[in-house]
Amino acid sequence: MNLSKFHLLILFFFFYSNLSAQHPVKPFPQHVKYFTGVIKPNQLTAAQADNAVKSFYTQWKKRFIKHKAGADEDFVWFENKDKKQCVSEGQGYGMIIVALMAGHDPAAHEIYDNLYRYVKAHPTGKSRHLMAWAQYANGKSTDNTSATDGDMDIAYSLLLADKQWGSDGEVNYLEAAKAMINAIMQYEINHKTWTILLSDGVESESKDYFTTRSSDFMPSHFKAFKRVTNDSRWDKVIDAGYRLLSGMQAKYSPDAGLIPDFIVNLNKKPKPAPANFLESPYDGYYNYNACRDPWRLATDYLLTGDKRSKKMVDKINRWIRSTTHNDTYNLGAGYSLDGVDMKHRNFEALSFVAPFAVSAMVDVKNQAWLNKVWNYLVAFKLKDYDYYDNSIKLMDMIIVSGNYWEAR
């Protein structure tokens, strides 16, 4: 072989290798086989469900994925509420969504890397592996502390990215995920109670050191974190979380099975947070944080079959079907722990609706209800709702359609 042919062969090899690296290993749709007994909407075909996800993703991406001028960075737009352009919670949603939609979206890999570069450009003061929780429209972070739920979703998305595109390219997703997971364990987990801290800014002397946000409990994420790091402490976090949340159900919401936005007094006798403890008069209600609980909890059963998950969401499913009389038009936008609709909330909130679809999937008894919730959810138009409602809607549509796969 002459030298020129050899050089051409080498160039072809590197070109082909690079091309292969860009190709998603798990292109959308995946039609995942969830745990035995898990159901999906059966009033439509898998292709129809996939198309609904694709259509909504296209709209969501156009409105909420923004490019930072002069940099190879993208962010999930917070719509400048309170002058903020991005929050880490939304960045985490977006990174999971984009990784799962690769294959349908040919630009997914580039967008994902741009989203990750934005994360790296906004670290917290304690760790370069965690993301500052919010940035103003000028791109500067509001402060240098994190929001734990955002970091957890970003870390999980990196595991998805590793499985989707491999870690031999520009970003070593697996190593980045491990570093982030270790930082989460170090700075965002309470090592006395093994509960989840609100932020890396919470210190042992802070008033909210023994406080947690119920929707930060993401057991299926934690199981993936343990697998990749071999850190058995994640078992302690999982077990402590299930004990805490199931205990809250039993003591404070025996009929509805609801969990409050915030739980305090974790080192003594846990209880719902008092009014205005952190965010609103409804900090001790099933409100705009806890509305994600049915999704976060049920996903663990869908992926791993954890019976603790099913036991908890079965209570919620029985209550929501009873209180609405199996009519989705009776769904409320917030409840007391007794299961009573919050006053002055006479509107539809997709962030409450969508998680009930995910929780319904755990038992065939909910088939007709699941079908109704899906139909109700997909009928709402993106233009009528904000970043939070639309992002949770899309995330949960991906799960309910059978296209949410486990990052192993």
pLDDT in tens, 161-213: 999 999 999 999 999 999 999 999 999 999 999 999 999 999 999 999 999 99
Whole-number pLDDT of residue 18: 44
In this prediction, residues 241-250 reach a mean pLDDT of 98
What does the block give as tokens for 190?
């309470």
263-320 pLDDT, tens per residue?
A: 999 999 999 999 999 999 999 999 999 999 999 999 999 999 999 999 999 999 999 9
What does the block give as tokens for 158?
């990196």
Q: Which residues contact 166 (CB under 8 A, 6 or more apart)?
A: 21, 25, 173
Record the pTM: 0.95
Whole-number pLDDT of residue 2: 52
Whole-number pLDDT of residue 344: 87
Whole-number pLDDT of residue 22: 67
Q: Which residues contact 392 (CB under 8 A, 6 or more apart)?
A: 93, 292, 295, 350, 351, 354, 355
The single-letter DSSP state of residue 23 is S
- The residue with tokens 């965690």 is 130
Q: Which residues contact 399 (CB under 8 A, 6 or more apart)?
A: 295, 299, 302, 358, 361
Least confident of 76-80, 102-106, 344-348, 399-403: 344-348
7-64 pLDDT, tens per residue?
A: 444 444 444 344 444 699 999 999 999 999 999 999 999 999 999 999 999 999 999 9
What's domain 46-401's architecture? Alpha/alpha barrel (1.50)
The yes-or-no answer on residue 306 being catalytic is no
HEC string for 140-151: CECCCCCCHHHH
What does the block give as tokens for 200?
């890396």
In this prediction, residues 85-100 reach a mean pLDDT of 98
CB atoms within 10 A of CB 371: 18
Q: What is the mean pLDDT of the chain?
A: 95
Alpha-carbon distance of 346 to 365, in angstroms, equals 29
Instruction: Return the closest-CA partner of residue 335 out of 277, 294, 376, 375.
Output: 294
246-261 pLDDT, tens per residue?
A: 999 999 999 999 999 9
Residue 390 scores a pLDDT above 70: yes
Alpha-carbon distance of 377 to 338, in angstroms, equals 25
Domain range summary for the chain, segments of one domain joined by +: 46-401
Does residue 201 sit in helix, strand or coil?
coil
Does residue 189 sit in helix, strand or coil?
strand
pLDDT above 90 coverage of the chain, percent? 93
Whole-number pLDDT of residue 21: 46
In this prediction, residues 112-139 reach a mean pLDDT of 97
Q: Please identify which of the residues 149, 200, 208, 293 carries the catalytic annotation.
A: 149
- Helices 88-100 & 387-400 angle (0-180, nearest 10): 30
Residue 118 scores a pLDDT above 90: yes
Strand-pair category, 84-87 with 134-136: antiparallel
**Cα–chain center distance at 405:** 13
The single-letter DSSP state of residue 172 is -
Q: Give the residue, 14 or 239, on which the prediction is more confident.
A: 239
Q: How confident is the model at residue 233 (pLDDT cuts 50, 70, 90)?
A: very high
297 with 218: CB under 8 angstroms? Answer: no
Residue 143 scores a pLDDT above 80: yes
Whole-number pLDDT of residue 346: 84
Q: How confident is the model at residue 382 (pLDDT cuts 50, 70, 90)?
A: very high
What does the block give as tokens for 196?
């989840």
